[in-house]
Chain A
């Protein structure tokens, strides 16, 4: 076994040397695009619920699999530009056939592009990631809202496939019954598995807010269950509120003498939708700049006309630079968060992960750069 493996790795080394400066995969993928580790082919696009589609992806050879509940970074080309977003994988790791599903609500550029994507097209995938996963074998409460169902769907499907649906209660919020993503599948799971109880709440007719009393009425034994929550921010805030300050506990947060009831509460795991993109203030005139690599603790005031390269240099940093006029790309650095403005065109740049020419870009609101 090891002998064969070492012969293969030797062959791989030789192949790399004869392909330099490229990799052998660059040639192999001319004929077999999925030989590349980071590509995935769109196998199917199907309607899931109003405004929601499931994209079935076949990852390339380098795909290492996922755990139920994890998410993955997906990049698609929009007007020639690759833009990435993170989506929960909604299929179970146990599913055969080597494909994964992402279930996408049409909201925003990338999701809209994924809705319009054609079967046979390619997207770029990161590795599956995230700690929002099931350790397995305990009493479980899921609280989900809208498309927050997607990582939980992977968990439910995984539990069902492993015949491990011991004791799961699932409270799901949707606008109407028709809007429940995977509605039919969830309902038939509940019929087939006595260990799975599904509680659907339709916000179009039921406007009662989520709090400890409501949860107590829906799931009387909730305090004995480990909980996973995923959904819109308002729902997560409400769930978080219940789990940090239960109304029946007279707990003084200032007391330090072990009266903490918080410690007695079951664990809550939360999966947030991605943070909202920076919104460029209408009258943006500079902002605070943070250099995430060199000086992550401090931020520097910058005006709307001073190139970020100068801001960095005045802060005592020595970033690489060349022409200082926007032609050589020596000073390019990655935008972590926030928004900058290209001083040549006035265009705002706010896509996290893009590289910006800091000699010709100034702060437009608060900015964080990987510098």
Chain B
């Protein structure tokens, strides 16, 4: 991978992790409780605004203003719930509080993907095998060609189209992600296992769909349709935003992928190095970091996946300094740069590699 003093690089990162975790306390608990309260109030307020708008339908500007505000509030609350709260709680970032109400073993998120399947596909597979081709199923999510190391197939010609579909339906992609059809083909997974997974997804997704597209609209009686559409907008907002943030994590220009040979006999320091080389940060303000679930600090999140996300902003400059000291590239850029280069890659790699690139 890289020829650096990997042992001391790892030791410094270990020390940073231990020191930061040791300083966790009452202020961190207040932080997550406040975010959860805010998110729930926004969800409730959003739904209330949507219902308030309904009798205003004869006054279109007012109606669209109020129902729009309601849909946006609900959408923002879903973004907060999935990203800063759900993703991070399910990682076990808040387990240290020993609070059964905010715990990875009990949390279920507002998303069609069941938390237990997410814990496997994401916490175990992706975070352990980050960017290792053939092991990390997040490299292109098994459907996109995002690295030239993935051999080209004709189906990739269509990837600009289905990538767009994935963005709009992102939560469904996340829900299906743990179903490993490759493993099924290879016989490592039994059909019964896949059926059990599908049943879990069906149960969770059913509840989610009934909630947003049947029950809440029914409560509005004759105004069924506007409520359904507002909920569709809210879920769509969350899908597009989480797609954009998550695709900036490992696909922008400059990110590295690895082979299984690269990680043979990998030490703790080597694992840290791979996390840094395989992840990208997005620069931005406090609100941006909050709404991205602090996945804008993807590098720090991959180094310390169970460190509470509110601490990533404070450890980021320290991680960057350690990387600079050991000559490890630290990939950070604006949202436009990271998303732009990601989308460019998806378009470019839809086509097979040119002869020149192959020769090189």
Contact = CB atoms under 8 A, between A and B. Distances in A.
Contacts of B253: none
Nearest to B21: A345
Contacts of B27: 80
A323 B44 contact: no
Interface stretch (A19-27, A258-266, A282-290): A19-27
B215 A18 contact: yes
Interface of A: 14, 17-18, 20-22, 26-27, 30, 77, 79-83, 322-323, 325, 327-330, 332, 344-345, 351, 353-355
B12 interface: no
Contact of A80 (B25, B41, B44, B204): B25
A81 B97 contact: yes
A344 B14 contact: yes
19 contacts: A14-B215, A17-B207, A21-B108, A21-B109, A21-B207, A22-B110, A27-B44, A80-B24, A80-B27, A80-B29, A81-B98, A82-B97, A322-B123, A322-B124, A322-B128, A325-B268, A329-B306, A344-B14, A351-B98
B37 A328 contact: no
A331 to B, nearest CB: 10
B26 A329 contact: no
Interface stretch (B88-96, B234-242, B290-298, B333-341): B88-96
Chain B at the A interface: SS class: helix
Given A18-B216, A83-B98, A329-B104, A77 B211 contact: no
Most A CB within 10 A of own CB, among B28, B96, B120, B124: B124
A83 B25 CA distance: 13
Nearest to B41: A30
Interface in B279-298: none
Contacts of A345: 18, 21-22
Bin the interface of chain B by size. Answer: 35 or more
Given A17-B207, A18-B211, A21-B108, A323 B96 contact: no
A82 B207 contact: no
A354 B98 contact: yes
B264 interface: no
Contacts of A22: 40, 110
A330 B215 contact: no
Most A CB within 10 A of own CB, among B44, B98, B271: B98
Nearest to A354: B98
Contacts of A353: 98
A36 to B, nearest CB: 9
A80 B99 CA distance: 9
Contacts of A330: 119-120, 123-124
A329 B96 CA distance: 12
Contact of B37 (A30, A80, A329): A30
B123 A20 contact: no
B160 interface: no
Contacts of B28: 80
A82 B95 contact: no
A20 B207 contact: yes
B132 to A, nearest CB: 13
Nearest to A26: B40
A126 to B, nearest CB: 11
Contacts of B208: 20-21
B158 interface: no
Given A18-B211, A332-B92, A80 B119 contact: no
